[in-house]
Amino acid sequence: MGKKMGTLLISPHSDDICMSSTHIINRGLLPEPLHLATVFSLSFHLAESTTRIKRASIPKIRKEEDCRFCHEIDAAYHELGFYDSHDTNVNTFYNARLDSGLERQLLQLLRRIQPTVVVCPMPGRLRAHTHHEAVFKVITAVISKKEDTTLYLVDDQPYSRIPLDEEIVCNGTNYIPRVIELSEVDLRRKIEMLKIYKSQMRDSYFQAIHNPAHGDDRMRYSESIWIPNNFISSVIENKI
């Protein structure tokens, strides 16, 4: 088994890591090499303005956008191949298959790439997203059993905007926030990278990134990453 190194970025859908973590990645705060794994890579949904595209072409479009984003951040791409079903909140059988299948694929991926850090978006607080909740549940359960892998949590804009004074406890571990501030230049760079996923994002998404739902000036141009309060990360702490 090789030496553990690098970061695995878990993206429920193909645009989530871009929304939540573009600046964190660009700042070089995460151990390299980077890997991006998209869970629902067989999603058949695009923004309203592009719904006339043939359904069979949509997963290909989303994969191409993911590959462009990975090229921008110099990350290896992994598609996990789950279908994006709107019935996951009521379909118990589907949930069970997702849980077991995702756990199996995640363990295989972790054994193969041996990351020291896994980054996962937290489920939304502003608008519940059942897919994100399902992924978060599986990821956190798996990582909690791996003592040599550290889990970082990120705020999945614009779904979330989790208050900085909110206590985050995950599998018995307390997490503390670190705010990664963006200048106007950083923000423009982030929006340019978000445009990679223009087929999936309505204009309201870009507005939500530029003008967060909670108008706290400190968070207006920022991304937030939560780390375990009992874990001293020289990479994170020295670069913030």
In the structure, what pLDDT confidence band is assigned to residue 213 with cuts at 50, 70 and 90?
very low
User: Which residue, 121, 193, 187, 218, is CA-closest to 160?
Assistant: 121
pLDDT at 67 over 90: yes
What is the percent of the chain where pLDDT is above 90?
A: 39
Distance of CA 44 to the CA centre of its chain: 19
| Residue with more model confidence, 4 or 181 | 181
Q: How far apart are CA 92 and CA 98, in angstroms?
A: 10
Contact 228, 17 (CB under 8 A): no
In the structure, what pLDDT confidence band is assigned to residue 31 with cuts at 50, 70 and 90?
very high
| Residue with more model confidence, 14 or 48 | 14
- Mean pLDDT over residues 48-68, rounded? 83
User: Which residue, 61, 6, 56, 54, is CA-closest to 38?
Assistant: 61
Contacts of 143 (CB under 8 A, 6+ apart): 118, 149, 151
Q: How far apart are CA 3 and CA 108, in angstroms?
A: 16
- Mean pLDDT over residues 206-232, rounded? 70
Q: How far apart are CA 63 and CA 57, in angstroms?
A: 10
Rg (the chain; Cα; Å)? 17
Q: Range with the lowest mean pLDDT among 11-25, 62-76, 152-166, 226-240? A: 226-240
Kindly list the structural domains of the chain, giving each domain's residue range(s) and its CATH number in brackets, ordered by start: 7-239 (3.40.50.10320)
